Amino acid sequence: MPHDLTPKQYKAVRALLAAPDVTAAAKDAGVSRDTLYRWMGEPAFVAAVREAEADALAAVSRSLVRLATRAAATLEAAMDTPYAPVTVKVRAADAVLSRLLQVRELVTLEARVRELEARMEADGEGGAG
C-alpha cells in the first residue's frame, strides 16, 4: 500500500477487513471508534481500505479458480452417479446451468465495458486535437 498512512492506520485497515464491525476493528487497531470513523472520511485511508479489499478479493478469487475444477468434477460426479437420488442430480444440473449463465453474463458485461472504455478513450484522444 503506497498510501501516506501511519502504522496505526495500516493496522486499522487490516482490522477493518478482519473484524465483524467498526467497533471491533477500532479495538483491534488500538484506536477509538471515533478516530476510526474520522479516518474513514479521509481519502487516503479510504483508498487504502479499498485497495486492501481488492487485494483480499483477488486472493479469494484465485482460490476459487483453483477449486473450480474440483467443484465441477463434484457436480459431474453427482449427476453421473447411478445411485444418487434424482433430486441431487437435478440440484447439480441446476447449479451448473445457473453458474454457466452467470459466467456468460459477466463475460458479456466485461466485453461491453471494455468496448465502452475503448470508445471513450478514442473519443478523448480525437477531441483533444
Position with higher pLDDT, 43 vs 78: 43
pLDDT at residue 28 is higher than 80 = yes
pTM over cut 0.85: no
pLDDT digits (tens, 9 = 90+) for 51-76: 999 999 999 888 888 888 888 888 88
Q: String of b and e for 31-42 (b: at least 16 CB within 10 Å)?
A: beeeebeebeee
CB 100 within 8 A of CB 108: no
Q: What is the pLDDT of residue 78?
A: 86
Q: Running DSSP on this structure, what letter comes out for residue 84?
A: S
pLDDT at residue 35 is higher than 90 = yes
Binning pLDDT at 50, 70 and 90, where does residue 88 land? Answer: confident
Q: What is the pLDDT of residue 2?
A: 57
